[in-house]
């Protein structure tokens, strides 16, 4: 673009800018309208509402920081929800990434039917967010469900996985692990991008497979791992539908599935505390932002890009 336009030139620059970009903005209008009315508007409104008491019928009443104060000083369930969510993120994200990378490496062997396998392994991720899978999961892990029936063949007395607060969260971690499809596809693309001659050279030097993995695959894949990590962490913080369905919408048993988003939904749409729920939403936004920032800040120590000069 033309830089350093001086003031006499400014008018003609503006004219040119408009003439050049008007069609683009015309085409963007539907999206822009949607963004301002359906995304940005409500987002700002929720920031305002987080400082109010609002029951969806009567006008919001300004209460200052009261919502935030209650949240941090008196609300035990808020802390419980954070605890559940953090535990889940800490377990589910690595589990899913390891699974995804493992399967991606298996598929990277140059199979002829790779397209088919890719589709098959991706399938759970397509289905994963659906209500049906959550219901299926509940049946699988029920006390008299399929999982326990299979364990029974081996003489193992299974637990009531879903209804036992000690194990319920892990069933969701397993569900998350099973839905490794999208990070797997990205890993697969990343693996394809690693030059084959590096491995050949390593072979010739007699480097064991494990060292090839840690010295070649992992470092060269670091940008992709980083990308997947950030994306999956955000995704995990936002987990909702599976937890909502499996816990009957309440976080049961004994709040062991009280995901942050489930708690937020209940506060908003069950107990009509829109103001408080908005405050919860903003705190979640800040938490996710902090985690993303940490990922980015630490990334320079372990992520190297090929076109980067040291």
C-alpha separations of 169 from 17, 111, 233 in Å:
55, 36, 17
Nearer to other proteins (CB atom), residue 17 or residue 271: 271
Among positions 123-162, residues that touch other proteins (CB under 8 A) are 142-143, 160
Number of residues that bind other proteins (CB under 8 A): 34
Binding mask 74-113 for other proteins (x = CB under 8 A): ----------------------------------------
Residue closest to 183 by CA, chosen among 220, 109, 236: 236
Nearer to other proteins (CB atom), residue 48 or residue 117: 48
Which of 5, 83, 87, 164 touches other proteins by CB under 8 A?
A: 164
Which of 59, 132, 204, 297 touches other proteins by CB under 8 A?
A: 59
Nearest approach, Cβ of 48 to other proteins (angstroms)? 6
Find the helix or strand (DSSP H, E) in which 61 lies: strand 61-62
CB atoms within 10 A of CB 119: 11
Nearer to other proteins (CB atom), residue 80 or residue 304: 80
Nearest approach, Cβ of 255 to other proteins (angstroms)? 6
Nearest approach, Cβ of 42 to other proteins (angstroms)? 5
Torsion of CA 192, 194, 198, 200, to 10 degrees: 0
Nearest approach, Cβ of 206 to other proteins (angstroms)? 55
Residue 51 to residue 275: CA distance in whole angstroms: 7
Which of 270, 286, 296, 298 touches other proteins by CB under 8 A?
A: 270
Find the helix or strand (DSSP H, E) in which 62 lies: strand 61-62
Nearer to other proteins (CB atom), residue 165 or residue 195: 165
Among positions 291-310, residues that touch other proteins (CB under 8 A) are none
Nearest approach, Cβ of 235 to other proteins (angstroms)? 24
Torsion of CA 161, 165, 166, 171, to 10 degrees: 40
| Span near other proteins by CB under 8 A; candidates 125-133, 195-203, 217-225, 246-254 | 246-254
Nearest approach, Cβ of 295 to other proteins (angstroms)? 31
Which of 129, 253, 288, 299 touches other proteins by CB under 8 A?
A: 253
Residue closest to 273 by CA, chosen among 60, 42, 44, 48: 60
Which of 271, 286, 289, 298 touches other proteins by CB under 8 A?
A: 271
What are the start-end ranges of the H helices in the chain?
A: 7-34, 41-49, 66-73, 76-107, 114-128, 131-140, 146-153, 168-178, 181-192, 196-205, 209-212, 218-237, 241-246, 260-265, 274-302
Contact 95, 155 (CB under 8 A): no
Cα distance between the two ends of the chain: 30
Among positions 19-58, residues that touch other proteins (CB under 8 A) are 37-38, 41-42, 44-46, 48-49, 55-58
65 binds other proteins (CB under 8 A): no
Residue closest to 245 by CA, chosen among 231, 259, 228: 259
Nearest approach, Cβ of 281 to other proteins (angstroms)? 13
Q: Which residues bind other proteins (CB under 8 A)?
A: 37-38, 41-42, 44-46, 48-49, 55-60, 142-143, 160, 163-165, 248-255, 266, 269-272
């Amino acid at each position: 673009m033309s830089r350093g336009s001086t003031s006499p030139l400014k008018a003609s620059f503006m004219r040119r800018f408009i003439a050049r970009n008007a069609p683009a903005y015309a085409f963007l209008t539907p999206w822009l309208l949607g963004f301002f009315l359906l995304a940005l508007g409500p987002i700002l409104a929720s920031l305002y509402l987080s400082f109010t008491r609002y029951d969806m019928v009567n006008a919001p009443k300004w209460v200052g920081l009261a919502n935030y104060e209650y949240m941090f000083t008196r609300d035990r369930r808020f802390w419980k929800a954070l605890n559940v969510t953090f535990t889940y993120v800490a377990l589910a994200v690595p589990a899913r990434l390891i699974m995804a990378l493992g399967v991606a490496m298996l598929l990277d062997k140059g199979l002829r039917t790779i397209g088919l396998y890719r589709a098959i392994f991706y399938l759970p991720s397509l289905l994963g967010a659906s209500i049906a899978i959550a219901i299926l999961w509940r049946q699988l892990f029920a006390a008299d469900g399929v999982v326990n029936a299979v364990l029974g063949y081996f003489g193992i007395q299974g637990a009531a996985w879903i209804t036992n607060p000690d194990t319920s969260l892990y069933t969701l971690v397993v569900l998350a692990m099973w839905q490794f499809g999208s990070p797997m596809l990205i890993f697969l693309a990343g693996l394809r991008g690693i030059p084959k001659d590096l491995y050949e050279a390593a072979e010739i030097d007699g480097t064991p497979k494990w060292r090839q993995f840690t010295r070649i695959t992992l470092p060269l894949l670091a940008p992709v791992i980083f990308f997947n990590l950030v994306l999956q962490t955000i995704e995990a913080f936002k987990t909702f539908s599976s937890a909502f369905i499996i816990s009957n919408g309440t976080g049961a048993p004994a709040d062991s599935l009280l995901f942050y988003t489930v708690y937020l939904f209940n506060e908003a749409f069950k107990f009509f505390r829109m103001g408080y729920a908005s405050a919860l939403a903003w705190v979640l936004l800040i938490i996710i932002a902090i985690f993303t920032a940490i990922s980015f800040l630490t990334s320079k120590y372990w992520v190297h890009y090929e076109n980067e000069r040291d």
